Amino acid sequence: MRKILFILCLGALPFFAFGQLTGVVTDLNSGEAIIGAKVFASDGNKAITNFDGEFTLKTTSFPVTLVTKMLQYTTDSTVIDSPGKVKIKLGEPVTDLQMVVVSAGRRKQAIEEVPVSIEIIKPELIDNKGITSLDQAIEQTPGVSTFDGQVSIRGGSGFSYGAGSRVLLLWNGMPLLSAYAGDTQWNAIPIEQAAQIEVMKGASSVLYGSGALNGIIAIRELEPGTKPVTKLKVQYGVYDNPRRASLKWWDTNPMTQQIEFYRSQMFKNVGYTISSTLFHDDGYKNEEFEYRGRVSGTLYYRPKKWKKVKAGIGYNYQIQKTGNFLIWESDSLGYTPQGGIDTSDAASTLTYTLGHRLFIDPYLKIIDKHNNRHTFKNRIYYVKNIIIGNEDQNSIGTVYNNDYQFQKSYANGLTLTSGASSLYNAVNSALFGDHSSWNSAIFTQIEHHMGNFDFTAGLRLEYFQMDGQRGDSDFLIAKKDSTVLPFYPVARSGFHYKLAEYTHLRASIGQGIRYPAVGERFIQTSVGALNIFPNADLRPEIGWAGEIGIKQGVRIGDWKGMLDISGFINEYQNMIEFTFGIYNPED
């Protein structure tokens, strides 16, 4: 009997020495699960929380100390004496100066550790300033200017009459440019759903591809929490009379009105966001009005059995009617279209447009057993423009976008981000003709964190063809024998060094490329007496950007801020622009 008891006691010893820990990490104030928190055990084991904030650790002995880290939260240290379930709550950040960005490395990073210039726009700015369109929001950023819907960062782009964009717009990490014009419809973005807006300056094509020649505007959607959120906003505005009486064309001052609704909530395994906007603007120029309505949102799903899987589908539909003219009547009638407001008159430069924009975004995120992250994103983006009274200029464009990303973090501070993307454009237009293009790429980027030093390097290989014709992405290796590769390489590198507690030095250099849009190559139309001609021989724009800068955190009492000083250089080749000239008809 004693032998049996001895054996049972001996067999039970490992259960006191070895065991499995499960736990959940939540926000101290809101109680929401924290995704992606890193949990380190004193015996060398580590884990990352899943989409429910849960983690599992196999420990070799007890007691064990767990250290939990997450950007924007205070690091937590907890001593665990025995196996079981652990509840860890992370409190407010050590300093309110810390901010997190995603666009620079396709992952969460502290803004001061990023080697490029990035500005952050918070939703509070949009609400407090009565902003109704994304371009109005980003114009608040230093070094960014907008002109009639065209955005330029650090003077890297001029006015292109609505065709082509050298600034790439990202919604939830995927490009959002139209198929036929390669443009961005800033007012179609549901800014009421934004968690934050990130403005990255300089050529940034390595991770996101064509279009990021001048920089990136990235918007992340605010994900729902367990506590429901409901918002309703109504705003009105009125245009004052111009100083010059000849410019005034109205009897009653023009007005703007907007009503906006937002609702979100996350249940145990499913959640949703939904928003709706109605907007009207009389405009200060005669017949340059705007009416639009939009509904958008996302459905989320987290399977019960697979805690490291998350799926969802986003949607956004907008319909709008606008009036627009390119040339005004005269210096004294600057707010009146040339040729008058009767669009049936061939001399009128006024155009009425009815537009439909729809995108649907299914996605899947998986954390595998080695804590590697796999992200599959897809988008169908449909745009239809109807020119009222001139159906010969109608256009339909559809974008099919697929993106896969793999991300792995190593114990030595190295993070690897790799993936592939494919983007297919189909255009059916009386204005441009029927065309298609295909842009595919593979990319990789490494980031190494070593104490106060961070190093980044990345490479992307781009392939592009339009209407089945190759050549746009050809890369000349040797001029002597004209050896070319069918794909174009784009590279970037940079570093960050922490000089002091709130002092950060950075430097970077990166390349960019932008392929001509269908509208730039094949448009042929007229606006009043102005004729526009195509140019099928346009070449891709290429360029590079370099910068060095220093970021200094400042805090005086309750006042806090960030001082950022940088020097930069941008260089571009094969820039595409519409120019005025005299063209005689062919004999």
Candidates 173, 183, 191; CA nearest to 211 is 183
What's the CA gap between 495 and 447, in Å, rounded? 9
Same domain, 84 and 207: no
Binned at pLDDT 50, 70 and 90, residue 10 comes out as: very low
Same domain, 526 and 552: yes
541 found inside a domain: yes
CATH number of domain containing 74? 2.60.40.10
418 found inside a domain: yes
> Of all helices (H) and strands (E), which one includes residue 323?
strand 309-325
Binned at pLDDT 50, 70 and 90, residue 430 comes out as: confident
Query: Tokens 């993070």 label which residue?
Result: 415
Query: Does 528 score more than 80 pLDDT?
Result: no
Mean pLDDT of 147-170: 78
At 149 the pLDDT is: 74
Binned at pLDDT 50, 70 and 90, residue 274 comes out as: very high
Query: Tokens 């309703």 label which residue?
Result: 232
| Higher pLDDT among residues 8 and 471, named by residue | 471
Count of C-beta atoms within a 10 Å radius of residue 303? 12
Same domain, 114 and 141: yes
What's the CA gap between 447 and 494, in Å, rounded? 9
Binned at pLDDT 50, 70 and 90, residue 575 comes out as: confident
Q: What is the pLDDT of residues 174-203, one digit of tens each?
A: 999 998 888 888 899 999 999 889 999 888
At 17 the pLDDT is: 43
Beta bridge partner(s), residue 215: 167, 201
Q: What angle do CA 515, 519, 523 make, to 5 degrees?
A: 135
Q: Dump the DSSP string for 459-473.
A: EEEEEEEETTB--TT
At 5 the pLDDT is: 44
Q: In the chain, what percentage of residues exceed pLDDT 90?
A: 40
Residue ending a domain, among 90, 122, 140, is: 90
215 found inside a domain: yes
At 14 the pLDDT is: 42
Residue ending a domain, among 64, 90, 116, is: 90
Distances (CA, A) of 184 to 133, 289, 318: 12, 19, 14
As given in the structure block, the two tokens for residue 417 are 């981000």
583 found inside a domain: no
Same domain, 127 and 58: no
What's the CA gap between 63 and 79, in Å, rounded? 7
- Long-range Cβ pairs for the range 407-412 (8 Å, 24+): 407/106, 407/107, 407/372, 407/373, 407/375, 408/370, 408/372, 408/373, 409/48, 409/371, 411/46, 412/448
What's the CA gap between 91 and 97, in Å, rounded? 15
559 found inside a domain: yes
Residue ending a domain, among 30, 64, 90, is: 90
What are the residue ranges of helices labelled H in 84-146?
Answer: 123-129, 134-138
Q: What is the dihedral of CA 552, 558, 559, 560, to 10 degrees?
A: 30
Query: Does 420 score more than 90 pLDDT?
Result: yes
Same domain, 26 and 124: no
At 298 the pLDDT is: 96
At 6 the pLDDT is: 43
At 357 the pLDDT is: 96
At 15 the pLDDT is: 41
Query: Does 422 score more than 60 pLDDT?
Result: yes
At 160 the pLDDT is: 65
pTM: 0.84
Q: What is the pLDDT of residues 36-89, one digit of tens each?
A: 888 888 877 888 888 778 888 877 677 888 888 887 687 888 888 777 788 888
Binned at pLDDT 50, 70 and 90, residue 331 comes out as: confident
Distances (CA, A) of 288 to 52, 239, 324, 326: 49, 13, 5, 10
Mean pLDDT of 24-28: 84
Q: In the chain, what percentage of residues exceed pLDDT 70?
A: 90
Mean of per-residue pLDDT scores for the chain = 85
Q: Is the distance from CB of 299 to CB of 312 less than 8 angstroms?
A: yes
CATH number of domain containing 281? 2.40.170.20
Same domain, 62 and 198: no
Q: Is the distance from CB of 432 to CB of 523 less than 8 angstroms?
A: yes
What's the CA gap between 435 and 438, in Å, rounded? 11
Same domain, 85 and 127: no
6 found inside a domain: no
Greatest Cα pair distance in the chain: 115
Domain that holds residue 306: 101-573
* 3 state DSSP class of 41: strand
Q: What is the pLDDT of residues 333-374, one digit of tens each?
A: 888 888 888 877 777 888 899 999 999 999 999 999 888 999
As given in the structure block, the two tokens for residue 332 are 């004294």
Same domain, 80 and 210: no
Query: Does 2 score more than 60 pLDDT?
Result: no
Question: What type of residue sits at position 37?
Answer: A
12 found inside a domain: no
N- to C-terminal Cα separation, the chain: 115
At 235 the pLDDT is: 94
At 294 the pLDDT is: 97
The 3-state secondary structure of 194-239, one letter per residue: EEEEEEEECCCHHHHCCCCCCEEEEEEECCCCCCCEEEEEEEEEEC
Same domain, 127 and 53: no
Same domain, 67 and 151: no
Count of C-beta atoms within a 10 Å radius of residue 403? 22
The highest-confidence range among 211-215, 309-313, 386-390, by mean pLDDT, is 309-313
Same domain, 485 and 455: yes
User: How many independent structural domains does the chain possess?
Assistant: 2
Same domain, 411 and 529: yes
Length of the chain in residues, anyone? 587
What's the CA gap between 74 and 533, in Å, rounded? 60
